[in-house]
Amino acid sequence: MKIFKSIPVKKPNTPLLDSVNYPSDLKSLSLSQLETLANELREFLLYSVGQSGGHLGGGLGVIELTIILHHLYNTPYDNLIWDVGHQAYPHKILTGRKNKIETIRKKDGLAPFPSRSESEYDVFGVGHSSTSLSALVGMAIGSIESNPDKKHVAVIGDGAMTAGMAFEALGHIGHLKPNVLIVLNDNDMSISENIGGLSNYFSRIWASKTYKGIKKSGASFLKPLPQAYHLARKVETQMKAMVAPGTIFEELGLNYIGPIDGHNLKQLKEVISNLKDFEGPQFLHIITKKGAGLDLAESDRIGFHAIGKINSIKDKKSKQKKYQDIFGEWIIDMAEADDSLVGITPAMREGSGLVEFSKKFPDRYFDVAIAEQHSITFAAGLSVEKKKPVVAIYSTFLQRGYDQLIHDVAVQNLDVTFALDRSGLVGEDGPTHSGNYDIAYLRCIPNMLICTPSDENETRKLLTTAYLHKGPASVRYPRGAGPNSNIKKDLKALKIGEANLIKDESSKIVILNFGTLLKEATEISNYLKATLVDMRFVKPLDEKLLKKLLNQAELFISFEDGSVMGGAGSAVQEFASKENLNIKSVLFGIPDKFIEHASREEMLIDAGLDIKSIKSKLSRVL
């Protein structure tokens, strides 16, 4: 493997890669040519991601694996599923999208993750982790009658394997025993202490057709003698346990092979070419380096998980504090004031702004891995014992723990605070990561307090308010930087449910803002000479103020960076109906469609939430 010292700024010379347009072009390549291709693909990936920005480390780690899988399997007829999809850039390059790779994550460009609508080679759309194995077994069972010769492969990372959903699927696969191959891409050495010559030697034996034949004939011979058969099976399992960490997978009913070097093309080809013809579920454990081939990325796997453009000119907002930084400062301050506070995150320490907290309060910080359901019920358990848990979680990932939120927290009215980062339209990561639905899916839950701060200072105030509230509470805030408001460092709570009347024009039009579209709401307020209220709370609403303002108005206009259907504006409509208020309404928010990847500003335009679109709609309505 060729090692690069830096990301190239000029397009590299890649003659062999240039000749590969689809996986069929790989079939006739020799092993030495495949090794040359791996070097060229790695250099091209470095260059292209340097131009576009995006996920880098995961793709660098699976260059060799991607090449071998497409070399050996008949994709797209055979199913190849990439868990999460952070690592799928090389896959996209080899499947007809090489010349478009620099458009990735841009408006109308390639999607940031595998997408069924983009390519027939993307057999399953992903974005959230740990879904691949469930999809794999579904595809395998679904094709038995129509295409019994079809192969099915899933590549899942060691991080994604920490999710319960992955193990639910493994249990089902072990029960059904379909002909599938699961590749565990282990780039953290977390369960791989025994890698070495002996384990590699036995892995090659266990993955050989000769051994498989002996095992099959031996099983037939011994089955009439149950004790002897089970003894032989137990000996094999114990041998594997001595040199490899795969006993758990064997117990689940999978044939475990590994660990092997995931950057060794010869070994990958030899092992996978055998496994693809074996019957039953095969589990191949490979060891890779995240960021492999780039010195800087190998030494800083977190920092090079995703990168911006190499030559990008950062705007002035880049120097401002991001909302995650506001949260990170607040939780440290609150932890110093209250020793019962406990911080929890499902594998999002850096993204949620918890790095300093984890260092300062290591005994009160818990990263539960990619286990959103567990994180919520774990918090519920802490609350029972009079702790004050704060769950820092992206809005889009809270969806994965919805039952636990209702059943384990809200029904029992337990004191858990949810800090919902990445709420609303998030930009380049697209619809799988946009946090559009938390207002709608939270406000229908009894006992929930729902806060929608409009800027950085309001975020800090409402985090304090939610935390000091006795019961389940959420505070939603977006990705990135805000308007750079002046932040007061006190830890005083606001009055629950009390809105901020910013401008009272005694107007027939009332503008209600929920969240970080206050700038747009203010501009429209000035444009219409309308009363402006920053509502702060979706649940409970400031019913006293609403009744007063809506009684004298003819129209209210609501703004929210969330789903219109079931959202904050809908809550006001329900209130008006309950109070028999005869008032018209115009609701601005995210429409009933998935907004595709683009910059946040471009997504806002697509959602009709930019000033031009807002004025255009109002001119028609008014």
Residues with a known catalytic role? 290, 372, 400
C-alpha dist (Å) from residue 411 to 81, 389, 406, 541: 38, 17, 6, 21
The residues that bridge with 256 in the sheet, in sequence order, are: 283
Contact status, residue 327 vs residue 419, Cβ threshold 8 Å: yes
Helices 164-176, 132-142: axis angle to 10 degrees equals 30
Longest dimension (CA), the chain: 91
Cα 90 versus chain centre, distance: 19
Find out whether 513 and 495 touch, Cβ atoms under 8 Å: no
Is the alpha carbon torsion for 139, 142, 144, 148 positive or negative?
negative
First to last CA, the chain: 65
CA distances from 183 to 196, 202, 276, 517 (A): 19, 18, 12, 44
Asked if 58 contacts 49 with a C-beta cutoff of 8 angstroms, the reply is no
The beta strand positions in 463-613, using DSSP E, are 473-476, 500-503, 509-514, 531-534, 537-539, 555-563, 584-590
Alpha carbon of 424 to those of 7, 354, 437, 505: distances in Å? 33, 21, 8, 29
Q: Which contacts (CB < 8 Å, 24+ apart) does range 441-447 have?
A: 441/399, 441/402, 441/566, 442/405, 442/474, 442/539, 443/538, 443/539, 443/566, 443/568, 443/571, 444/566, 445/405, 445/406, 445/410, 445/472, 446/410, 447/410, 447/411, 447/413, 447/471, 447/472
Cβ contact 490:463 at 8 Å: no
In angstroms, the CA 30 to CA 209 distance is 22
Report the alpha-carbon distance of residue 401 to residue 404 in Å, rounded.
5
CA distance 496 to 494: 6
Assigned token pair, 56: 């880098």
Structure tokens at 162: 């920490």
- Token look-up 């594997």 returns 240
The partner residues of 419 in beta bridges, in order of sequence, read 392, 475
**Exposed, middle or buried, 331 (CB in 10 Å: 0-12/13-18/19+)?**
buried
- Judged on CB neighbours under 10 Å (0-12, 13-18, 19+), 212 is middle
The strands making up 79-82's β-sheet, listed across from edge to edge, are 79-82, 152-157, 181-186, 282-287, 255-261
